[in-house]
Amino acid sequence: MALERIILEMGHGNDMHGGDYTKAALRAVQDCIHHSALPFLRSLDVDPKTMQIEVTIGVQQPDRVDAAAVGASLPHGQVKVNVVLGGLDVVDRERGGASVIATAAVAVRLDLKEHLGKHK
């Protein structure tokens, strides 16, 4: 099985007041998936559960992201979440705390030869 990346979406999300890295990450992933439509799944008779989905989240404190919650937020596919150093914290010097900005990349991979072979 040769998986090929067929979709790459990028997005960002934030938590302006709570400093919640998971909330920012979830919003970044939602930003990604709301940019995509997957009509080819029906055209190629692809079961959405078979999609391989790779999620990369960038935040300033990767250990504070609940990767399982991020993975569970995707409606389809077999999801792998990788959290790395990235994103941005905007410090509020007057009131304390920070606004957390997360970036996300969501990649979808399929075995295209398998699915295209069904439609020859």
| Domain count within the chain | 1
CATH of the domain at 33: 3.30.1330.20
Per-residue burial over 80-107, b = 16 or more CB atoms within 10 Å of its CB, e = otherwise: ebebeebbbbeeeeeeeebbbbbbbbbb
Write the pLDDT tens digit of every residue in 35-93.
887 787 787 788 888 889 999 999 999 999 999 999 999 999 999 999 999 999 999 88
Structural domain span for residue 63: 4-117
Q: Is the separation of the CB atoms in 111 and 1 below 8 Å?
A: yes
d(CA 44, CA 4): 15
